[in-house]
A = this chain, B = another copy of it.
């Protein structure tokens, strides 16, 4: 492997370490918000959960959906709580009490140190509701909707900068699904009106809900053809699972993710060429994760509960390893992927789990996400990797080792994220880092597990945690380390400093 500071991919947009909180299951109610909890603050938000979110340094949180947003009246969630309606929520067949809405969430996100990636409803609603929401959130004052926000207790505008133009509008499951042509037109007109209210915002249009959608690629091309001028980013969504218990094939799925990114970028550039545009459409991988454990149990849930336990994945060690590999993929595509959201943040397909009335803990996937968010800021470098390869059911020539490298030029740190997918043997890492000069290993974190199916639970929250016992060392310009079998490795180096004079 070779890593050189000159082989730059791109400066990483920190928003690729974003996450997502939907009004779904116990993500909001019973997740971040639980007024009766002993650790709830005066606003009803759990401070223990907030602490875990802060620990992750989440830069941006997508909100309030997801499928939820396609049936949502945002006006239901603002103003005096006692007047807010209880709504039949069709996306997840729940009852939505509207106790948390735009304003409460904005305040929570500020406390969490995160921006809000706001979404408008293009399922049951259109241009007018969208522009009104932008005015309500971002306009300073002196108009109907901005003055109403002030009247609701929020004098300062929220200043949301990035907005989703609906969610997964190609999906037959979506409330108010659209054809590509219908959506392209609606996205263009809604986007134009929203930018009319606040020209500083950036807009994400919906790409396909996943790569296997029957309208994939055509959808992207049609939507961009109709809305190119109003769109800054196109979305990608992907969830992987190991329901057939074929772990090598499961861990190989980052090749699918990589191909997905390249293909969508190609569609964007095809439309760019056709339009002779100077603008390049960025990618927003605004839903990604592992999701399969809870799908069957969720089918047995009674409809119309409030905050039912939905999508509550108990993540295993191997899930965490794949999540790590997906993060590596995002970092390596930092030149095109400017936004990405681990879906989601609390309870529903989430790194953080809570018990209602009880504790909160870190799932296995919490750790690779934490590492990437903390150490993955700076410049993504292109590592030249020679790894043995394997074939799996769906993939050929899968490298056992995947890696990404991030150089923080200001802090003079270099971080390598390296995963070994080999379940049978450890792997020696040898990496030429002469281009960096005098960098020393300051730590080599390892996440590994005897049992690939091990999970963290309320009772055993530390079954799978990283340790700092990796053996990485810089041997005169060659970084050497042992990559344990099925392991996630974070190797941090820093320029050796001359001792400063007292």
Binding site for B on A (CB under 8 A): 71, 85-88, 90, 93, 95, 123-128, 131, 135, 139, 142-147, 172, 175-177, 179, 182, 185, 188-189, 192-193, 196-197, 229, 304
Are B88 and A143 in touch, CB under 8 angstroms? yes
Alpha-carbon distance between A321 and B458 when the two chains are bound, in angstroms: 77
Task: Report if A144-B93 is in contact (Cβ < 8 Å); known contacts: A189-B177, A193-B124.
Answer: no
Alpha-carbon distance between A189 and B179 when the two chains are bound, in angstroms: 11
Task: Report if A147-B86 is in contact (Cβ < 8 Å); known contacts: A176-B189, A182-B185.
Answer: yes
Closest Cβ–Cβ distance, residue A78 to chain B (whole Å): 16
Alpha-carbon distance between A487 and B146 when the two chains are bound, in angstroms: 53
Closest Cβ–Cβ distance, residue A225 to chain B (whole Å): 13
A87 contacts across to B, CB distance below 8 A: 143-144
Closest Cβ–Cβ distance, residue A198 to chain B (whole Å): 10
Are B142 and A86 in touch, CB under 8 angstroms? yes
Alpha-carbon distance between A147 and B85 when the two chains are bound, in angstroms: 10
A85 contacts across to B, CB distance below 8 A: 143-144
Are B90 and A131 in touch, CB under 8 angstroms? yes
A124 contacts across to B, CB distance below 8 A: 126-128, 193
Closest Cβ–Cβ distance, residue A181 to chain B (whole Å): 9
Are A143 and B193 in touch, CB under 8 angstroms? no
Give the most central of A87, A88, A147: most B CB within 10 Å: A88
Are B179 and A95 in touch, CB under 8 angstroms? no
11 residue pairs bridging A and B, Cβ less than 8 Å apart: A85-B144, A86-B142, A86-B147, A87-B143, A88-B143, A90-B131, A124-B126, A124-B128, A143-B304, A175-B189, A175-B192
Task: Report if A135-B88 is in contact (Cβ < 8 Å); known contacts: A95-B142, A128-B124, A176-B189.
Answer: yes
Task: Report if A88-B175 is in contact (Cβ < 8 Å); known contacts: A124-B128, A143-B95, A304-B142.
Answer: no
Alpha-carbon distance between A87 and B93 when the two chains are bound, in angstroms: 35
